[in-house]
Amino acid sequence: MACNVSGGVTTLFFSVLMLGLMSGWSEAQKDVPAMYIFGDSLVDVGNNNHLKLSLAKANFPHNGVDFPGKKPTGRFSNGKNPADFLAEKVGLVTSPPYLSLRKSNNSKAFLTGVSFASGGAGIFDGTDAVYRQSIPLTQQVDYYSVVYQGVVQQLGSAGAQQHLSKSVFAIVIGSNDLLGYFKSGSELPKKNTPQQYVDHMILTLKLLLKRMHNLGARKYVVAGIGMIGCCPAQRNQNKTGNGECNEEANHWSLKYNEGLKSMLQGLKLELKDISYSYFDAYTAFLNFIQKPATYGFKEVKSACCGLGDLKAQVPCVPIASYCSNRNDHLFWDLYHPTEAAARFLVDLIFEGSKEQVFPMNLKQLIAV
């Protein structure tokens, strides 16, 4: 009898616990009904798997070695990437790749969010010259306009506006544009000074954010560019030969971020019904590199997966080797953070201070 009572109490406890968890999940979904992701390989969850010509793919080992099921999914990571952690924070499943939904023509699938992010993509068209095929931001917004029509079809015009006004629109892009400018042999410096190029990036992004606003977007999470000059690929290409960062690339990452932050402040004055969180990714990576032990990192220069100096001469392909201690590496491959680093980044986005996420973090943005 005692065992039965104990079993009943245990069952009751877990029932209450599950109800509480389900209630919290439900409340989170009410707060954020959907998340729409725009960006590059940092947040691609598999769109490039559907691009036949693309060389920017991660649907092969050793990618995904720590992902549930231990299979590569198209994420440029050993496990989950920032898009996955963002979804977890707001109580949603990861937004599926748009190209995986397009053929089904199922508008209901659009209601909890969609990812348009694509490895190799940039703010400008043509940043994928090396990779042959990606979905530039202009095309991603085009695809979102199709999703918008599907949401209107499902909920009606007023219902769609209410739904989208509570949804989160995350934009993580720009690194490929700058990397392309500073790539050896690039023709871009002959056409524009770095300042002209950065200014044009910001103006182009502003126009696309306004277009998204016309299609119902009201809450934006916009990430600045990280310390791209310190990724293993850039360190490896540095002519000093000491594995030092490319300081020119870092300098213009900072200049872009300053312009981006200023542009968002101006956009808020112009479009009074928007709210946004600007994430200072540059300072986050600077802290990782300068104070690695604080975050549990031991290796911040070399990639975990690859071959050659800094494991950055050959990318993370099946013939490459990968480290066993993924959690103490900042970089998974030539360009992308490990799952451990991605988790830290999203923790900052969600509840970081005003110095890290301006003028409010994601948690505060959701409450607006």
The set of catalytic residues is 41, 333, 336
Contact 231/249 with Cβ under 8 angstroms?
no
Across-strand partners of 169? 36, 220
Contact 7/140 with Cβ under 8 angstroms?
no
How many whole angstroms separate alpha carbon 35 and alpha carbon 38? 10
How many whole angstroms separate alpha carbon 195 and alpha carbon 63? 36
Centre a 10 Å sphere on the Cβ of residue 295 and count the other Cβ atoms it contains: 16
How many whole angstroms separate alpha carbon 16 and alpha carbon 309? 54
How many whole angstroms separate alpha carbon 81 and alpha carbon 98? 17
Q: Per the structure block, which two tokens stand in for 62?
A: 């050793």
Q: Which of 39, 59, 197, 236 is CA-nearest to residue 120?
A: 39
How many whole angstroms separate alpha carbon 101 and alpha carbon 208? 23
SS3 231: coil
Torsion of CA 209, 35, 295, 261, to 10 degrees: 10
User: Cα 119 from chain centroid?
Assistant: 11
Which residues have CB under 8 Å from 146's CB, separation 6+? none
- What is the β-pairing status of strands 305-306 and 321-322? antiparallel
Q: Which of 319, 300, 299, 298 is CA-nearest to residue 308?
A: 319
Which residues have CB under 8 Å from 336's CB, separation 6+? 41, 42, 76, 77, 81
CA separation, residue 183 to residues 80, 238, 249, 285 (Å): 28, 11, 10, 21
Contact 338/327 with Cβ under 8 angstroms?
yes
Max Cα–Cα distance, the chain, nearest Å: 85
